[in-house]
Structure 1
């Protein structure tokens, strides 16, 4: 596969024509954002903010979706409708009834932790047809993180306002907002409650981010350890934003061993450098409770990297307004976080406007 491709994978998927026979979708028609498992008869994913996009001339679009997830449907980059799927459902959307091709995108806004969802078909109706595949961006960003990066509970108006499934919205996370504003392709590889080497309250201790990162669907391994491993040649980011460690050093002790955390963090950076030659890093940290340890640890890693002659790296300590569900960043705070990190990401990517 061409490693400079859109961070998506095109594939052939059986699109059900309801009341008729199966109809293949041209593999060049679809573009995917995020880590997807591309299978013979469906495509599956678990990461927040994964999306499928395409151009078409049609008066309707129907997705055959299986799994538990919330989605945002967009037309020409404008949000149209949120929908919820809890089992398997054929979700139909009305679209412009003209002869012009429009761009359609389905974005997963909820988190699968654990779990996944699958798309079994996309139907454009009897008279619909696909147009040219959406163009790839020349900019590619990967985000590695936890609930702050997921957009966990961002729509909650207080710490107990709703459930994570109802109030999480990855399209309102700083990662998605930042990527959209820079017109960059992206991967959001983040899982709530997970730390690099120690999870929040030591939940499922064998499934930390360090371990989950190797899998295509990071929400699946604790249910099926033999699930598909990610092929890192499918997407080569130019910038990686690493915002991990909140769960390593927050909540009830014992916290992560600092030495083990530093070792795993540096190992991740070195591995990413080997996988993606020329990649740049933005290391991000914030306050942790009750011991404010994370910032000092990550800044120390950054200083060590610079002292070792690394010039591919920046560090930023950020403050967030944690007034949404379960003490997570609010919508306003996620926007401010995107605004804070955007110039640093743009600088690393060489995307600053002149």
Structure 2
């Protein structure tokens, strides 16, 4: 190593140490709020098995709190990925935690008083394994009374469309990346906001009801029914407790990946759907279950999926279960632009939400004005 290389290495180390010193001193003037504080409210599947952390992998998981003071900082595991942040009535904005980020300021310079924060995880976290590790408030300040969540509850089970794959792009040639994935803008999150409902998401890009994207015709071991009971995707060590969230409505939006690459078995698709809907009915005896077709299918694959779902819904009706419904999104035409890898754009998701919202209102009697 030559002199210049040595000098640069020593200088980099000094800058890092100085940065850590500044960061540590900055936190001395703050009040730390642990993630298990009773006044923090969570929505979505979370794991609290690791002390000092709340972990999650599915998009849509939300962290909500009311806080005193003029500023708010958020602490997470490094490289946790993207969140959308809403402070008071200001527009939502995105913040991303990279490899060197563990604490970021969400707001400062706020007027003295009580403020609200709603923070939504908006990407798929099964690779990054994100974890929330608490808040920092102005010194001497505390969290105020916990927010009250809406009574209405929806669960969305789906694939990349529900995750928000490519929604922040309008170029179908763009490949997948976390920067253009954003669940906040999806039909699911928008529908929940329009209906003033909580929503829980179990979704992953590429997943199917019996066969994941590109998998053998015979099916996939890690399709949705195999993953559904896990709190964290691809982690079989912790089973989700359904008593923590009992939905009024379950929206099941799968089938697109099962039909991918013209390598599907229609009978296996139908039987996979039949078994999973039966499982959902056992899990949620009173829920309205909506079987959807997404906007990316067309032609023969779409007709096969529609036929299977119609048949399953009809079977439930004949058995006296009238709370299983069918709903088809309008096919994507490109008139509203196309997102990354031919996925729905933000405008297409808006259209989807505008279609699904009145349907849910019809089957539940909900109005958008009710709280």
Query: Shorter-normalised TM-score: what interval?
Result: 0.7 to 0.9
Larger radius of gyration: 2
| 1:63 is the counterpart of 2:74 | yes
| Secondary structure of the corresponding residue to residue 284 of structure 1 | strand
| Preserved contact between residue 246 and residue 288 of structure 1 (Cα < 8 Å) | yes
Aligned Cα root-mean-square deviation (Å)? 2.4
| Secondary structure of the corresponding residue to residue 271 of structure 1 | helix
| Secondary structure of the corresponding residue to residue 232 of structure 2 | coil
| Preserved contact between residue 165 and residue 181 of structure 2 (Cα < 8 Å) | yes
| Preserved contact between residue 166 and residue 182 of structure 2 (Cα < 8 Å) | yes
Structure 1 match to 2:113: 100
| Secondary structure of the corresponding residue to residue 166 of structure 2 | coil
Structure 2 match to 1:86: 98
Structure 2 match to 1:272: 280
Structure 2 match to 1:260: 268
Where does the alignment leave 5 or more consecutive residues of structure 1 unmatched?
Answer: 1-15
| Secondary structure of the corresponding residue to residue 148 of structure 1 | helix
Compared CA separation, residues 236 and 150, structure 1 to 2 (3 A): same
| Preserved contact between residue 288 and residue 294 of structure 1 (Cα < 8 Å) | no
The Cα shift of 1:191 comes to 0.6
Q: Deviations over 1:102-130 (max 9, x none)?
A: 11011111222434200122111313221
Tell me the distance in 2 between the aligned counterparts of 1:114 and 1:348. 37
| Preserved contact between residue 72 and residue 107 of structure 1 (Cα < 8 Å) | yes
Tell me the distance in 2 between the aligned counterparts of 1:76 and 1:28. 20
Tell me the distance in 2 between the aligned counterparts of 1:238 and 1:247. 27
| 1:130 is the counterpart of 2:139 | no
Structure 1 match to 2:313: 302
Tell me the distance in 2 between the aligned counterparts of 1:353 and 1:137. 12
Out of 32-41 and 73-82, give the one that drifted further: 73-82
Tell me the distance in 2 between the aligned counterparts of 1:247 and 1:137. 33
| Preserved contact between residue 160 and residue 326 of structure 1 (Cα < 8 Å) | yes
The Cα shift of 1:183 comes to 0.7
| Secondary structure of the corresponding residue to residue 18 of structure 1 | helix
In the alignment of these two chains, the number of paired residues is 332
Tell me the distance in 2 between the aligned counterparts of 1:273 and 1:258. 23
The Cα shift of 1:346 comes to 2.0
Compared CA separation, residues 60 and 267, structure 1 to 2 (3 A): same
Compared CA separation, residues 101 and 353, structure 1 to 2 (3 A): closer
Q: Deviations over 1:158-190 (max 9, x none)?
A: 112364311111000000000011110110111
Task: Name segments (4+ residues, structure 1) moved above 6 Å.
Answer: none
Tell me the distance in 1 between the aligned counterparts of 2:87 and 2:166. 25
| 1:331 is the counterpart of 2:346 | yes
- Give the TM-score normalised by the residue count of structure 2: 0.82
Structure 1 match to 2:61: 50
The Cα shift of 1:23 comes to 5.6
Tell me the distance in 1 between the aligned counterparts of 2:35 and 2:300. 53
| Preserved contact between residue 154 and residue 199 of structure 2 (Cα < 8 Å) | yes
| Secondary structure of the corresponding residue to residue 79 of structure 1 | coil
Structure 2 match to 1:116: 129
Whose helix proportion is higher, 1 or 2?
2
Structure 1 match to 2:27: 18
| Preserved contact between residue 32 and residue 134 of structure 2 (Cα < 8 Å) | no
Tell me the distance in 2 between the aligned counterparts of 1:235 and 1:198. 27
Structure 2 match to 1:140: 153
| 1:27 is the counterpart of 2:37 | yes
Q: Deviations over 1:239-292 (max 9, x none)?
A: 001111110112x2421x333322332222222222223111111114526742
Compared CA separation, residues 86 and 296, structure 1 to 2 (3 A): same
Where does the alignment leave 5 or more consecutive residues of structure 2 unmatched?
Answer: 1-24
